[in-house]
Structure 1
């Protein structure tokens, strides 16, 4: 690059590119013009340019190509200087040859964790758990990193400071604890031949500076875009400024700050200019000696915006008199405050959304709008990763794939999720939720029978503990539930699948359900082996997420080498915590015109439309975390930087972006379902605008033309359009000819109470499924109790209360009732057994009663066959030849009032079948009694038809039920009959399983998707 006497002329080698400018494009444009890059593709080949991070390095290479006229060039050597908030160190690898090998992050954390455990063991005789020690080590690491950035920390002062101050007891313990930093850590480094990793970058920068001093590079060396927030960065800046062709280009220095403003900036670490002015002092450069980079926008409009933003971000105490400040600002530009404000706010919009969901919708609509203008670009910038992912998801509605540049947490990727699942799976291999999640994982699919295993054998109450127990449960499931809907092939496939999983655990030794504390590396190896074994492909370790998962496993394994043996569940928590902190690129190419950036990724970049979202206090800016070990006043005495420094850097990011020509600021009134406060930057900008424009300020900050917030609200509220009040209520009518053709007596009751449930079940063929790990429900509990009573009545079985309790316990346990519940209910079961034996002894039965008897009867209804089926719990033949039908209930049976209203026809319909001889092995006979037996904590029996609400014989009830059955089936066979969802909800005891399908909560105002009480 030839020096034409432009950039490198004059005494100052320090430049700044004003806020709101596309920093990298301005930098590249001027460099290309001065070097003559369009005519000489090698003009910049010998230059070295340092930028803050890898993303800005990639963008600079691209815009240099654009500046060359899109012709092939030999690019300069673009290196990363390192961001204070990024995991990127100064790019001075060549200078590190004389330094000891780098200490890995895991080794550093592991060593600190070991020192924490040793401290507590020596000081208090107690060794803290690995997780607690690791958390303390991470806090220590953060404090030591902050101390390294401050560079001049003197830890030896700490005991004297503590001695001169009355501290709370926990702070006194902290002072002792921090001897780990001042004494134990240096000793450990010396013993292990390590250099302090927190000071390593500073040492490397000094080596590079020394080499530059001894042999100054003849090629241009530029340090561009850094605020000088790190000591290593400032060392290289000082060195570059002494080189023949060395330049430093600062981002967004306020060139108009007077002496009073500079004093305020120096005294406020949260000020966006504080770091920059502190860097100037360290470099020995006066602000007036800094030059503005050639070719940047110096128009009145741009200057007005910059000065407005700088003033809005100034400390509150320095801006008490807004009107005088505005007069001063407008006078500096030769205008009045109203004109100044209008110029400053031209292109700037502030939108207040009701909540973060509408905020995301609004941001997405603003991005989508840009696609209508082929030459424009747009970027959303937010520190809220959840908001960024939400906006990305909304954009996919319109076929726009714009992944957040910050990536996604490793745990949400395919490889990371599989590792996380396996880390939990080894703790309980038969846990149904994790087992299903693993078998249906994208990297694991291919195991036959996974769907049937999930649908038929893993749902409901869990009645197994190990995989072997699960295998036994699958093989005996039909013994527990004779009416289960699965086929023999489903059972065979599920058995084969579980056997294959058992083999996988046996081969990898990964069943740690009964394991005690063990070395973490051994746990990591078994988790990794299990993941590789079940995936049957290299996918867990391939791709960007696979590489990150591999790095994570190596990291936690190395870290565990320094920890005492730990229980497997603690290691699983370690993996989950580490995965949550790692982000992985989505692997999708960046959109050519739209972007979603975090503030770090957005540094030095720009777009036609900048959208700044998440502008709420504690989001942007984020509140500095509390210091775990040091009282805040000690930090200054020790020389440690104030945590508010990060707020200043965040404010600088905001100022750089908010000064762009077209900017939209978004914040929400509510976040996470709680009231939220707008960012201090937003409300101070609003206050400044009101000071200049009064009541018209709101209009000046409003969107030009259509309001995107109104678009977002219209999308959210589109369901409130002028539709009929019942438009969403399902009213299906289509079904097969002659349907319904077959129903049980209990489903007849359901058809009356919730016709939609019967239609969805039989016409749509949609079966309800139980949740996993559910409590034992009424149906399986009732089946277990019925099975126990049936076994009790078997010939030869002991007819004692103890034997009945044993049968009840055995069947309930097999159905999934937890042992703790059974133990607590043993006295209740004994009471139920005693009552049952007493009730049984009073029965007048001719021969043995029949239990669990199947019955059916075919009817001709309107010329078409209809089959009514039933299962009678107990049928007794009386000495006079008549029958008594008994139904056992584990809850409250229907009342006579319900039966009289024909809402509960189960028992009258059973009497109808019995009277016609429809029960297997039981000839037709008159029914003399219908009884309910409530087998519950307070058991009782009730004869139907002997109350004031209902006085009728069973035969009369059966005749009424038959007439009602014919009317009901005939009515629902009519073509215009609609199958409504719980039309009389007061008569529905619980959700039949189809309320969500019917969208009841949407149109009926149900808040629990369930029914009412009878």
Structure 2
């Protein structure tokens, strides 16, 4: 038990708990012993304890309960003092002691600053988008916070800064812009009788200090865990020094720093001790005058670790004497033995990239669970890495939520709000509509799946509710489409009812039917109404994410209160910008042994094993954001703090955590697909280790123990031992009854190039769906051109270029082609049409009668005891005067190469010739006859004609057409004969070079696992 005396006369007033110690446990243990908490439940009831943040306040309450022997106690008043890096200052009871105006909310401040920004530009005859005004307002708000946290800024000096120097004109423009916060913002606050949040907190702290002087508190005052980075904290610390019973407990003060080094630290804002040095100057103390907290035990290894970490983070001027310092610190030990003691329990691991880094962290956390009772915590400032590790742990049914939370817009409620806002911009946009209707928190009692499948997929052929309904009616009436897709009559009626109900709900919510601007509050009310009407049970507002969304929308209403009316696009963009920094902490109960913390949450906390991840430059430490308005020289002159103070605070967090007995430091060689640099702290630690131990031993000492390298575990997971005789390549062999008994000529080509695609489509019944809002590519564009050319050949149609062009453009519009694309191709389309008409006119004397268009034909082929049906749809068939047949195939793009046709890789046209020669088109009045011509007609951005059997540049064919047709017949019969064998498999792209268009089923075939060629990731 710690002996009493913490508050005795002559006892130290300022203490420190060294790095690596369990700060809160040590604090609670000593206080409980001092006050006799185990036998007196109200021993601390009158005391006031300040800690850095709310999380440490909760953790201290638990530590006090444990220190009291798990007995019920009356808790002291534990208040968060506020971290410098907190996004929002915490509410404080101190404000009640001062007659202060209320603080302006951060949201209202953003909105009013945005109005001032727009007024600044409008005064100069320009305008900026609302999103840009909001972004500038964020920068101004950040500068206001920095000014308040710097402890006093003289904005009046701004006018003289540029005048005294010959600088670029843009700096003068920046100074003019800063008049917003130097002059206009104070006037705005005075007009509304409000204060800026941080300025109010400082005023409240000063009022509290005066109150303590006039009326000393009844209980004891303890300020624990703060470095004094916030001016309000330093005010309270200085006031506490005058009280009869008050303590200040600093985290991780290096008491062994020489006076000369302490002076250099005071001039190095990026040093971990810089902020504490400033606090001690405020309190009038030197480092050696601060006492070590009583009741702590240490070990030579812990002392060596702290010394090495402090040395590694020493000011740059001190690094030249590292080895001499190590000799002094090691005392009777030799330098190498001291270094080995200090680095024992510390492991450095460099992963290939941030993905591998997340895996390593997850595997280390998972390994901890194998040791009964041990705890572990991942600490990283990289929120994305933290969420990735949390997701990886779930594969082992280990749920550990990142304490920093997840972005609001990535939660169910937040994502629904964002999707509804995007949908409001264009209510019939298929992607936005389905994103809302298929959201987990939406309950819409309609057949959304068939509505999507039959009517929304493919190119968008509508612009509003009325044209969407017309599209549904037109699609439902298309018998050929219904036969091919499986569309039933009731699907059309159900889709029309769905659209009717959906339109009614959107209208009822209050969204304008046209482009009429609406106020920000009206927009939010409409979004809320629509979310509520579509919401499932429980409604989107339930849960932590719903509560946070409600708060965010209320705050955003404050942001927009001073803004003019705008369209949904503007409000949607602004809301998403505003919510980019809003986080939601998951409601899941904390894991009893594992945690994922950010550096803020990790302050004053510890675990049996700490994993520090994200140790790369730009991540940890993060570079201070570039100042949009002031260079550093200007900042210093008006009293703004150095941006490097944030690096110093981050370095202090690192030093506290790196001194833990069991710590793993993770970094990555690459981040965001670019080379990454390890954190400067890792570089310094490894340099110090190499100097003390030599290159080889340093690598061994800092590397993972044998068999405990998570990179090797990860390699084992990714490349498990191969099973003998096993291959992941699919080789399905369905029964003959399940195999297709007929295919079209185009599918015969697929059967050659990718048999597995035929298996998936015809045996498994899997067909690739068109994309939503699909751009009009070659397929729908070709269909439109075919339709126009077919109609053009009808009797009674004037055969003119203007008429053909008009029909083409009408079909392209119906197919969903964008108007700008249609207009942009007017000239090339006219040339193509004129060339086509000239070619057509030249062919007319050769043709007997009217050409047949879109002709369907079939051919039954004997296949053992069964028969195989070959089908085709010929674009055009013409009868020559001598009775021979010509088959023409129209292409909007380049036709297949002649070599592909001759080698049988593209058998479509020769197979159509076989059907024609066998009378397969007889139902259409085309009797069996010789085929004299197979021709590709290119009709797109250019017009071209290519005859199969012709050799380029020669009047003589390389291979006669008759021979090509017969070779195709022979190859076709062999092909379908092979697949009539039940032991013949449908393999995936047996010759990848043949599959020039890839395969829609490559992922289903898992080609990346077994194929030799490069694949997708």
Q: Same fold (TM over 0.5)?
A: yes
Report the equivalent of 2:991: 984
| Structure 1 CA distance for aligned equivalents of residues 276 and 524 of structure 2 | 46
Q: How does 1:188-267 map to 2 (within 5 A)?
A: 188-267=188-267
Report the equivalent of 1:644: 644
Q: CA deviation at 1:368?
A: 0.8
Report the equivalent of 1:855: 857
For the Cα contact (< 8 Å) 1:897–1:949, is it kept in 2? no
Q: Which stretch has the larger CA shift, 218-227 or 498-507?
A: 498-507
For the Cα contact (< 8 Å) 1:736–1:763, is it kept in 2? no
Q: Which stretch has the larger CA shift, 383-392 or 69-78?
A: 69-78
User: Is residue 525 of structure 1 aligned with residue 525 of structure 2?
Assistant: yes
Stretches of structure 1 that go unaligned for 5 or more consecutive residues are none
| Structure 2 CA distance for aligned equivalents of residues 31 and 189 of structure 1 | 43
| Structure 1 CA distance for aligned equivalents of residues 36 and 704 of structure 2 | 42
| Structure 2 CA distance for aligned equivalents of residues 171 and 892 of structure 1 | 57
Q: How does 1:584-599 map to 2 (within 5 A)?
A: 584-599=584-599
Q: CA deviation at 1:388?
A: 0.9
Q: CA deviation at 1:481?
A: 8.6
For the Cα contact (< 8 Å) 2:732–2:987, is it kept in 1? yes
Closer, same or farther: CA 94–168 of 1 in aligned 2, 3 Å: closer
Residue by residue over 1:766-822, the C-alpha shift from the partner in whole angstroms, topping out at 9 and shown as x without a partner, is 101233333322222222122112222223233322222111111111112111111
Closer, same or farther: CA 498–307 of 1 in aligned 2, 3 Å: same
For the Cα contact (< 8 Å) 2:98–2:208, is it kept in 1? no
Closer, same or farther: CA 100–485 of 1 in aligned 2, 3 Å: same
Q: Which stretch has the larger CA shift, 574-583 or 629-638?
A: 629-638
Residue by residue over 1:380-417, the C-alpha shift from the partner in whole angstroms, topping out at 9 and shown as x without a partner, is 10101111111112211211111111010011011111
Report the equivalent of 1:912: 914
Tell me, what secondary structure is at the counterpart of 2:694? helix
User: Is residue 416 of structure 1 aligned with residue 414 of structure 2?
Assistant: yes
For the Cα contact (< 8 Å) 1:57–1:80, is it kept in 2? yes
Closer, same or farther: CA 664–802 of 1 in aligned 2, 3 Å: same
For the Cα contact (< 8 Å) 1:392–1:404, is it kept in 2? yes
Closer, same or farther: CA 470–96 of 1 in aligned 2, 3 Å: farther
Q: 1:974 aligns with which of 960, 981, 989?
A: 981
Closer, same or farther: CA 702–986 of 1 in aligned 2, 3 Å: closer
| Structure 1 CA distance for aligned equivalents of residues 688 and 896 of structure 2 | 71
Q: Which stretch has the larger CA shift, 935-944 or 691-700?
A: 935-944
Report the equivalent of 1:672: 672
Closer, same or farther: CA 771–9 of 1 in aligned 2, 3 Å: farther
Q: How does 1:80-159 map to 2 (within 5 A)?
A: 80-86=80-86, 87-89=88-90, 91-93=92-94, 95-96=96-97, 98-122=99-123, 124-159=124-159
Q: Which stretch has the larger CA shift, 102-111 or 869-878?
A: 869-878
| Structure 1 CA distance for aligned equivalents of residues 628 and 1003 of structure 2 | 48
Q: CA deviation at 1:645?
A: 0.9
| Structure 2 CA distance for aligned equivalents of residues 47 and 560 of structure 1 | 43
Q: Which stretch has the larger CA shift, 105-114 or 413-422?
A: 105-114
For the Cα contact (< 8 Å) 2:347–2:702, is it kept in 1? yes
Tell me, what secondary structure is at the counterpart of 1:139? helix
Report the equivalent of 1:931: 934
Report the equivalent of 2:429: 431
Q: CA deviation at 1:892?
A: 3.2
| Structure 1 CA distance for aligned equivalents of residues 527 and 173 of structure 2 | 39
| Structure 2 CA distance for aligned equivalents of residues 5 and 1008 of structure 1 | 71
| Structure 1 CA distance for aligned equivalents of residues 232 and 670 of structure 2 | 41
Report the equivalent of 2:904: 902
Q: CA deviation at 1:854?
A: 2.0
Closer, same or farther: CA 128–572 of 1 in aligned 2, 3 Å: same
For the Cα contact (< 8 Å) 2:736–2:980, is it kept in 1? no
| Structure 1 CA distance for aligned equivalents of residues 545 and 137 of structure 2 | 27
Q: Which stretch has the larger CA shift, 903-912 or 763-772?
A: 903-912
Q: CA deviation at 1:1006?
A: 4.5
Tell me, what secondary structure is at the counterpart of 1:222? strand
| Structure 2 CA distance for aligned equivalents of residues 910 and 161 of structure 1 | 84
| Structure 2 CA distance for aligned equivalents of residues 182 and 832 of structure 1 | 66
| Structure 2 CA distance for aligned equivalents of residues 162 and 289 of structure 1 | 44
For the Cα contact (< 8 Å) 1:82–1:89, is it kept in 2? yes
Q: How does 1:452-601 map to 2 (within 5 A)?
A: 452-477=450-475, 482-483=480-481, 484-488=484-488, 489-510=490-511, 514-515=514-515, 517-535=517-535, 539-601=539-601
Q: CA deviation at 1:300?
A: 2.0
Q: CA deviation at 1:688?
A: 1.1
Closer, same or farther: CA 949–775 of 1 in aligned 2, 3 Å: farther
Task: State the TM-score, normalizing by the size of structure 2.
Answer: 0.94
User: Is residue 921 of structure 1 aligned with residue 952 of structure 2?
Assistant: no
Tell me, what secondary structure is at the counterpart of 2:737? coil
Q: CA deviation at 1:709?
A: 3.6
Closer, same or farther: CA 306–977 of 1 in aligned 2, 3 Å: same
Work out the number of aligned pairs and report it.
Answer: 1004
Q: CA deviation at 1:824?
A: 1.9
| Structure 1 CA distance for aligned equivalents of residues 182 and 746 of structure 2 | 77
Q: How does 1:816-965 map to 2 (within 5 A)?
A: 816-841=816-841, 842-843=843-844, 844-919=846-921, 920-922=923-925, 924-932=927-935, 933-945=937-949, 951-952=959-960, 960-965=967-972
For the Cα contact (< 8 Å) 1:520–1:565, is it kept in 2? yes
Report the equivalent of 1:995: 1002
| Structure 2 CA distance for aligned equivalents of residues 739 and 722 of structure 1 | 32
Q: CA deviation at 1:697?
A: 1.4
For the Cα contact (< 8 Å) 2:454–2:487, is it kept in 1? no
Q: Which stretch has the larger CA shift, 676-685 or 913-922?
A: 913-922
Q: CA deviation at 1:204?
A: 1.2
Q: CA deviation at 1:496?
A: 2.6
Q: CA deviation at 1:216?
A: 1.8
Q: Which stretch has the larger CA shift, 87-96 or 284-293?
A: 87-96
Q: Which stretch has the larger CA shift, 911-920 or 556-565?
A: 911-920
For the Cα contact (< 8 Å) 1:130–1:566, is it kept in 2? no
For the Cα contact (< 8 Å) 2:130–2:574, is it kept in 1? no
Report the equivalent of 1:381: 379
Closer, same or farther: CA 896–883 of 1 in aligned 2, 3 Å: same
User: Is residue 372 of structure 1 aligned with residue 370 of structure 2?
Assistant: yes
Residue by residue over 1:24-83, the C-alpha shift from the partner in whole angstroms, topping out at 9 and shown as x without a partner, is 111111222222222333332332221111111111111222222222222222211111
Report the equivalent of 1:61: 61
| Structure 1 CA distance for aligned equivalents of residues 6 and 583 of structure 2 | 43
Q: CA deviation at 1:240?
A: 2.7
Tell me, what secondary structure is at the counterpart of 1:666? strand
| Structure 1 CA distance for aligned equivalents of residues 552 and 18 of structure 2 | 41
Q: CA deviation at 1:575?
A: 0.9
For the Cα contact (< 8 Å) 1:881–1:925, is it kept in 2? no
Report the equivalent of 1:348: 346
Residue by residue over 1:309-354, the C-alpha shift from the partner in whole angstroms, topping out at 9 and shown as x without a partner, is 11111111122122112112223xx433222211111111111222
Q: What is the Cα-based RMSD across aligned positions, in Å?
A: 2.6
Residue by residue over 1:652-680, the C-alpha shift from the partner in whole angstroms, topping out at 9 and shown as x without a partner, is 11111111111111111111111111111
Closer, same or farther: CA 949–977 of 1 in aligned 2, 3 Å: farther
For the Cα contact (< 8 Å) 2:89–2:198, is it kept in 1? no
Closer, same or farther: CA 221–953 of 1 in aligned 2, 3 Å: closer
Closer, same or farther: CA 953–187 of 1 in aligned 2, 3 Å: closer
Q: CA deviation at 1:965?
A: 3.1
Tell me, what secondary structure is at the counterpart of 2:266? helix
Tell me, what secondary structure is at the counterpart of 2:262? helix
Task: State the TM-score, normalizing by the size of structure 1.
Answer: 0.94
| Structure 2 CA distance for aligned equivalents of residues 237 and 693 of structure 1 | 43
| Structure 2 CA distance for aligned equivalents of residues 676 and 49 of structure 1 | 42
Closer, same or farther: CA 624–735 of 1 in aligned 2, 3 Å: farther
| Structure 2 CA distance for aligned equivalents of residues 79 and 322 of structure 1 | 41
